[in-house]
Amino acid sequence: MPRFELNDTDVVVIVGSGAGGGTMANELTRRGLKVVLFEAGKRQSLATFSQNPSEAFAQLTWLEPRSQSGTWDPVKNSPTLPAWHCRTVGGTTVHWTAATPRLQPYELRARSVYGDIPGASLADWPIDYDELKRWYQVAEKRLGVTRRNGNPGLPASNNFKVMHAGARRLGYKRVHTNYMAINSRARDGRGFCIQQGFCAQGCKTGAKWSTLYTEIPQAEASGRLDLRSECFVTRIEHDDAGRASGVVYRDAAGVEQRQRARIVCVAGNAIETARLLLLSESGRFRQGLANGSDQVGRNYCHHVLSFVFGIFDQPVSFWRGAVLAGVVEDENIHDPRRGFAGGYHLELAMLDLPTLPLIGLPYGWGRDYASIIDNYRNMAGMLVNGEDLPRADNRITLSTTRKDAYGLPVAHIHCDPHANDVAMRAHATGQGRKIYESVGAKRTVVSSIPPATHQMGTARMSHDPAQGVTNAHGRAHEVPNLFMSDGSVQTTAGAANPTLTIVALALRQAEYIGREAAGGRL
């Protein structure tokens, strides 16, 4: 693998190696560009993944402290971990559960379709749906998404069969084993899913798509990728003209280094991307890099989330099978008669036994709590995944109370649920309960709001530079050679798990960067 010089002004620097960054690295090296890919975490492998949940959590998770405020549940229920994502080569594509639904056309026009909702900072996306759909199709082929392009769906687990039976009794029609970036048959040099159910601990068989063992090795094979793992980028620098000129980082030994750059792409997820831009303040950018609009960090979205569990008389063994291999799509519509704007999915879900009491149960210790744990074998589970509305004050800022190991302020997350989110969650959990009750559940349990696993919106795309941070290609309005390449660019959240959208936009962005670079405009 090459090692490019620190003063090489011809390289593209990418910060973060997950769905956006890893994909960008592969695409840009394929186009002949030299790439330095920074990742704060270590490089794992199929051999080193642990299927012990607590070991896997420590091995993969971003454990740096954060501060938080607001009225959302994680402030009180998960004070040390308000958001859950990875710090490892491959980013959260190592941990993710691989559900890949598409956003719907109405979701890209939320401001026009939903209207002016008080307390929400809605905006329409600056790209049309046909354009996004074209790149969805490219991404789905790359990821091998099931139920697309002739790829068969994953098998139905017991957990899914319970969901399916209940959903059909309620009259739902669009119920299936989900669109999954998990091989249902061998492809791309990787085997098929063996249904062992440890998706979130890192797929030991490689059936699940991850940039760790797909995009990044392909980029390395080009001879144009310099991957620097265990290297933490602390600042983006700019020249006198206001163009990004490079990054400052701490290497694996903790020594501060500076890498020059022709182009900088930030793909650290919506929380760390916003933090890095805010840390990169200067005399020219006093509120943070590319933040003259004061939009960096704002409009943070994380989806309306909740678990619903059904307890039955007979075993379900819901830990067997791909975790999210099931979905009810019927509620992913905009129907204000339900009492809220936007829609949601009900997705199959399970929590391993050590994690269940930490984020899945709303009760404290006691007899009732223990009775739920006693019925673990007989539980079925699903996840509500719905569109939360962006709010200007739901935002990422720099903490005034906590610093990291390098003395830099960590990310501070402030979040207050919108009334629309509250109404949607009540409707969705109610429907989840009805699904299980319709097939004989002796009890249903609804979780509190778990830590956020989907991070979106803090550097959103916008037609108007005053309403966002980037243009339709994720290019910063104020810094012409700075790009955001992750979920931070989503103008609104929609109800779809975000990874497919991140990959689609990264593929589109890479084509744009390659074209602009070849034409001498970057």
| SS3 annotation, 370-402 | HHHHHCHHHEEEEEEEECCCCCCCCEEEEEEEE
pLDDT at 292: 96
Give me the residues of the chain with pLDDT under 70, please.
none
Q: Is residue 4 part of a domain?
A: no
* Alpha-carbon torsion, ordered 198, 199, 203, 208, to 10 deg: 150
Distances, alpha carbon 87 to alpha carbons 39, 194, 308, in Å:
8, 26, 28
Q: Is residue 5 part of a domain?
A: no
CB atoms within 10 A of CB 136: 23
| Number of independent structural domains in the chain | 1
Sign of the dihedral defined by the CA atoms of residues 125, 131, 135, 140, in that order? positive
DSSP one-letter string for 183-203: -SS-BTTB--------GGG--
pLDDT at 358: 83
Q: Please list the residues that pair with 409 across neighbouring strands.
A: 403
| pLDDT tens digits, one per residue of 215-268 | 999 999 999 999 999 999 999 999 999 999 999 999 999 999 999 999 999 999
CATH code assigned at 295: 3.50.50.60
Q: Is residue 100 part of a domain?
A: yes
Sign of the dihedral defined by the CA atoms of residues 31, 222, 192, 317, in that order? negative
pLDDT at 260: 98
Q: Are 213 and 47 in contact (CB under 8 A)?
A: no
CA atoms within 13 A on the CB side of 119: 9
With vertex at residue 385, the alpha carbon angle to CA 305 and CA 165, rounded to the nearest 5 degrees, is: 115
In single-letter form, the type of residue at position 110 comes to A
Strands 175-176 and 67-70: what pairing? unpaired
pLDDT at 198: 87
Q: Is residue 2 part of a domain?
A: no
**46 contacts: CB under 8 Å, gap ≥ 6:** 202, 203, 204, 205, 206, 213
User: If you search the block for the tokens 């989900």, which residue do you land on?
Assistant: 178
Q: Is residue 309 part of a domain?
A: yes
pLDDT at 159: 98
CB atoms within 10 A of CB 440: 13
Q: Is residue 1 part of a domain?
A: no
| pLDDT tens digits, one per residue of 158-187 | 999 999 999 999 999 999 999 999 999 999
Q: Is residue 7 part of a domain?
A: no
In single-letter form, the type of residue at position 406 comes to Y
pLDDT at 360: 85
**pTM given for the model:** 0.98
The domain containing residue 28 runs over which residues? 12-518
Q: Is residue 126 part of a domain?
A: yes
pLDDT at 317: 96
pLDDT at 1: 77
